[in-house]
């Protein structure tokens, strides 16, 4: 497995990491629906056994629950991965979520406790909101790094101008943006900027939250639990849903040539961009993890990459 250096850090990471959003469980604003914790722990162990060496989570996933599950899984695992988590989305006793860059010191202590570690390998600002507090928040992030509570600091969902403001205070190890063949907004400005400044990029939702796995159907979408955020996501609504499922079907034909799934092809498409360091890939059970792990080594040829792009252009 070819591991890549994340930005200017000493972190050498596998081409895909385990994404822990869905394992936060149900009953919160951005839930994927109910989730069995034993399935989550088994999925994490399977990912580590197959060579994935980093886990990306966030305090807000399940309102702390994802971090707790990750902490339990890693404590009982034979391999010890890098742990990445995020701050700046906080909640109250009513489980209502708000954006804040003024509680980072409290947040890091809570995350350290839930993850059961003394230092977080990569600590990221989840969202740059409120925008006027970016400098204050990033200053605290830099302080935490100097104090040794976090090893490296990164951002998520930041624009170029917001990264430029943060860079005046302290270096940025990485940026975590959404990127898939259904969401290419970062190609114009953000990826060229991070590539130029050697800021690592770990993209989330390379399979667009399950839509490009090849396992999604209209019937499955219709039966999503009431607390699954995807029920209201635009790409899961018509007419986009039919278009997106046709793209997934096309990816199946590419994957069949190599005995890999449509999801693996979707992940490989994002990794084909030289500005992408690695991709975050979720898994809710060991079977799902095994299905996507070939993305660790599978790569598209230039001809296949062009073939997929031509299909996308023909189905805008």
Ordered by start, the domain boundaries in the chain are: 4-212+276-300
What is the tens place of the pLDDT at every residue in 187-206?
999 999 999 999 999 999 99
Known catalytic membership, residue 236 = no
Tokens of 295: 């993305």
What is the tens place of the pLDDT at every residue in 98-111?
999 999 999 999 99
How confident is the model over 40-63, as a mean pLDDT? Answer: 98
At 142, is the pLDDT very low, low, confident or very high (cuts 50, 70, 90)? very high
**What percentage of the chain reaches a pLDDT higher than 70?**
100
What is the pLDDT at residue 282?
93
What is the tens place of the pLDDT at every residue in 229-263?
888 788 888 888 999 999 999 999 999 999 999 99
Write the DSSP assignment of 218-287 as a string of letters.
HHHHHT--TTBGGGG-GGGSTTHHHHHHHHHHHHHHHHHTTT--HHHHHHHHHHTSTT--EEEEE-SSHH
Per-residue exposure over 240-279, b if at least 16 CB sit within 10 Å of its own CB, e if not? ebeebbebbebbbebbeeeebbbbbbbbbbbbbbebbbbb
How confident is the model over 115-135, as a mean pLDDT? Answer: 98
Considering the domain 4-212+276-300 in this protein, what is its CATH number?
A: 3.20.20.100
Mean pLDDT (the chain) is 96
Q: Is the dihedral of CA 230, 64, 121, 141 positive or negative?
A: positive
| Set 61, 123, 204, 236: catalytic member | 61
Q: Which residue has the tokens 């991709």?
A: 279
Q: Which helix (H) or strand (E) holds 154?
A: strand 150-156
Per-residue exposure over 210-232, b if at least 16 CB sit within 10 Å of its own CB, e if not? bbbbbebeeeebeeeeebbbbee
Q: What is the pTM of this model?
A: 0.93
């Amino acid at each position: 497995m070819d591991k890549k250096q994340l930005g200017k850090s000493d972190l050498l990471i596998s081409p895909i990491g385990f994404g822990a959003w869905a394992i936060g469980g149900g009953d919160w604003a951005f839930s994927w629906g109910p989730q069995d914790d034993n399935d989550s722990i088994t999925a994490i162990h399977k990912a580590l056994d197959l060579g994935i060496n980093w886990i990306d989570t966030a305090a807000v996933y399940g309102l702390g629950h994802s971090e707790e599950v990750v902490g339990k899984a890693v404590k009982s695992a034979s391999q010890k991965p890098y742990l990445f988590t995020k701050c700046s989305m906080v909640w109250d006793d009513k489980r209502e979520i708000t954006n804040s860059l003024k509680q980072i010191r409290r947040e890091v202590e809570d995350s350290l406790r839930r993850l059961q570690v003394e230092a977080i390998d990569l600590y990221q600002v989840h969202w740059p909101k409120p925008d006027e507090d970016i400098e204050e928040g990033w200053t605290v992030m830099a302080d935490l790094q100097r104090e040794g509570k976090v090893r490296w600091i990164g951002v998520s969902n930041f624009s170029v101008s917001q990264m430029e403001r943060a860079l005046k205070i302290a270096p940025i190890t990485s940026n975590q943006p959404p990127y898939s063949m259904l969401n290419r907004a970062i190609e114009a400005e953000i990826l060229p900027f991070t590539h130029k400044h050697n800021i690592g990029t770990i993209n989330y939702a390379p399979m667009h939250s399950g839509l490009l796995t090849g396992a999604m159907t209209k019937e499955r979408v219709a039966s999503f639990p009431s607390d699954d955020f995807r029920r209201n996501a635009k790409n899961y609504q018509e007419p986009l849903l039919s278009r997106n499922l046709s793209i997934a079907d096309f990816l199946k034909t590419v994957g069949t040539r190599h005995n890999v799934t449509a999801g693996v092809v979707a992940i490989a498409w994002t990794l084909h961009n030289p500005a992408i360091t690695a991709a975050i890939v979720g898994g809710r059970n060991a079977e799902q993890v095994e299905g996507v792990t070939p993305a660790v080594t599978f790569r598209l040829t230039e001809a296949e990459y062009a073939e997929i792009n031509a299909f996308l252009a023909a189905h805008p």
